[in-house]
């Protein structure tokens, strides 16, 4: 166990006293070192943000425009108060980063949200050796084991084809930023046109400005008057499900893409026709692989099933503790209030 870790837990989140900054704070602070642009990690209202360079367009889109931003390429180092800070790919979404901190010979890594599978919309996770590892555990139970993403993509495209042949419009729900772009990148545009909810299309624009290639998408709000939606794919945020916005599409087949679709009854509670198990977080085997690869002396587990994961690591002879958090992980990524959908 580390006697004096670089980081400490506070009511405002993880704090580095030597550098006087917070990592993914829970509330507005003066200086935030930010792992990625989801609003349960990029806290609105901070005065200064430091983040990985690929996240620039997304963070500027979602944060207070009067804030100060500094962006650092992956692998490069900046020193604040004697603490060396660098960002390393986390694989969660565009610009997501593990945050490496080094001070007086001790290295800490905060994973943020991460996954180990390859994703065409972001750089793949890389292991970073450390003394202290702070890892998420959103899906930190042995029951969570993801299928290859290629298999899920094939299933989604097959569902689209079958719905098209039945003269239906497909509506696929995914979180506005990150998940939706990963889904769009996996769609086969030869099946039909791809339309997007306004929150999703705004995320698409930020991804494209960042150099990510996506199939052509059309903003639903640009379609005026009556329109034939049969055979189309509409990518929308989960909060659109059951709303008046859905009525325009006529006969639809609906689906949700989320790791929570692995839970018995989740699809029924969402009242969707199909559930595709696709997550941008590590599953149980990947979480264990990551801990092994980073080889920490101590592991802090947060964001999810932290007590379960910490207990299992202790049983395996590792030093691990669960630390307090108030985030629900993937539930909180459907944050669309700041990107309203135009009425059409």
What is the torsional sign of CA 133, 134, 139, 140?
positive
pLDDT at residue 78, rounded to an integer: 99
Rounded average pLDDT over 229-240: 98
Average pLDDT taken over every residue of the chain: 93
For residue 331, pLDDT over 80 is answered with no
pLDDT at residue 325, rounded to an integer: 59
- Could you tell me what percent of the chain has a pLDDT over 90? 87
Concatenated DSSP letters for 137-165? ETT-STT--PPPHHHHHHHHHHHHHHHHH
Residue 334 — very low, low, confident or very high, per pLDDT cuts 50/70/90? very low
pLDDT tens digits along 134-154: 999 999 999 999 999 999 999
Q: How far apart are CA 46 and CA 30, in angstroms?
A: 6
pLDDT tens digits along 61-88: 988 778 999 999 999 999 999 999 999 9
For residue 237, pLDDT over 50 is answered with yes
Buried b (16+ CB within 10 A) or exposed e, 216-248: ebebbbeeeeeeebebbbbbbbbbbbeeebbee
For residue 179, pLDDT over 90 is answered with yes
Domains and CATH numbers, the chain: 8-144+280-333 (3.60.15.10), 149-276 (3.40.50.10710)
Q: Which of the pair, 122 or 327, is modelled with greater confidence?
A: 122
Rounded average pLDDT over 96-123: 98
Name the least confident of 52-61, 80-89, 321-330. 321-330
Residue 210 — very low, low, confident or very high, per pLDDT cuts 50/70/90? very high
pLDDT at residue 270, rounded to an integer: 72
pLDDT at residue 336, rounded to an integer: 38
């Amino acid at each position: 166990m580390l006697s004096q870790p670089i980081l400490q837990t506070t009511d405002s989140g993880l704090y580095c006293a030597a550098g006087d900054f917070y990592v993914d704070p829970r509330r507005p602070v003066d200086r935030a070192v930010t792992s990625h642009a989801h609003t349960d990690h990029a806290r609105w209202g901070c005065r200064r943000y430091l983040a990985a360079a690929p996240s620039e367009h997304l963070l500027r889109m979602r944060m207070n425009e009067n804030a100060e931003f500094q962006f650092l390429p992956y692998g490069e180092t900046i020193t604040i108060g004697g603490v060396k800070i660098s960002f390393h790919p986390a694989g969660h979404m565009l610009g997501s980063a593990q945050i490496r901190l080094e001070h007086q010979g001790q290295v800490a890594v905060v994973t943020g949200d991460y996954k180990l599978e390859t994703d065409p919309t972001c750089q793949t996770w890389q292991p970073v050796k450390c003394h202290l590892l702070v890892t998420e555990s959103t899906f930190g139970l042995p029951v969570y084991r993801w299928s290859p993403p290629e298999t899920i993509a094939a299933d989604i495209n097959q569902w689209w084809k079958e719905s098209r042949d039945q003269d239906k419009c497909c509506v696929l729900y995914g979180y506005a930023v990150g998940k939706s772009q990963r889904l769009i990148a996996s769609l086969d545009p030869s099946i039909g046109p791809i339309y997007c909810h306004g929150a999703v299309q705004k995320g698409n624009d930020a991804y494209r400005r960042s150099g990510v290639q996506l199939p052509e998408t059309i903003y639903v709000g640009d379609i005026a008057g009556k329109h034939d939606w049969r055979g189309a794919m509409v990518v929308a945020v989960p909060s659109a499900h059951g709303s008046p916005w859905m009525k325009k599409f006529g006969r639809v087949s609906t689906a949700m893409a989320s790791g929570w679709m692995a839970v018995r009854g989740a699809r029924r509670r969402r009242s969707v026709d199909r559930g595709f198990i696709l997550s941008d977080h590590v599953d149980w085997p990947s979480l264990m692989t990551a801990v092994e690869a980073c080889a920490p002396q101590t592991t802090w587990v947060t964001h999810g099933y932290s007590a379960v994961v910490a207990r299992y690591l202790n049983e395996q002879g590792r030093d691990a503790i669960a630390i307090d958090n108030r985030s629900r992980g993937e539930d909180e990524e459907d944050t669309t209030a700041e990107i309203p959908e135009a009425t059409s």
